[in-house]
Copies of this chain bind each other. A is one copy, B any other.
């Protein structure tokens, strides 16, 4: 009776549950050990549960990463839609998808935290590189000619990361308050050149 009562009160007050403990341990590990330094096993150990339970609740490490950092969209689901009609002309769609996520203050919040946590002094830069950028740009790499895919993808990433910093983190005017259509008209042709322009 007493135990059940205590548990009941605890739950109403938001006492830690297993799923929450795993998420907390994962957040902690990603923030301090980065993406590559975090494993399902190490998170399970920190949360005091079996690795199988982490898999059961969250799937693979990429899924745990997205859940733990509260990433508002799954890049593996939405980015491929941009390239469904081919890479030619896709920069416009890629940029509009990017803006639809980043221009939304609520969706932007966890992304800003991820970028700033990763780029700060002593921050795990691989959280940005091997965590989110790999998930965002993986689908792009797959639709490009293999021998050019890495270079073109990294160049696209450089411009988009620069937009993140200049438009949302600094923020740098007039880039920060530029309307989407203007921004797309300025930036998409440059992205498209990185994607499909002739090799220089």
| Interface residues, chain A, with chain B CB atoms under 8 Å away | 113, 115-117, 119-121, 123, 125-126, 128-129, 133, 150-151, 154-155, 157-163, 165-167, 169-175, 178, 182, 185-187, 189-190, 193-194, 200
Contacts and interface: CB of A to CB of B under 8 A. Distances in A.
So how many copies of this chain end up in the complex?
2
A159 to B, nearest CB: 5
Given A159-B162, A165-B161, A129 B189 contact: no
Contacts of A157: 162, 166, 172, 175
Given A116-B123, A161-B162, A190-B193, 15 more contacts: A116-B119, A117-B121, A119-B119, A120-B123, A128-B170, A151-B178, A151-B186, A157-B162, A157-B166, A158-B163, A158-B166, A158-B175, A159-B159, A161-B166, A162-B162
A175 B115 CA distance: 19
A175 to B, nearest CB: 4
User: 7 closest pairs, A vs B, by CB?
Assistant: A120-B120, A162-B162, A185-B200, A158-B166, A154-B175, A158-B162, A190-B190
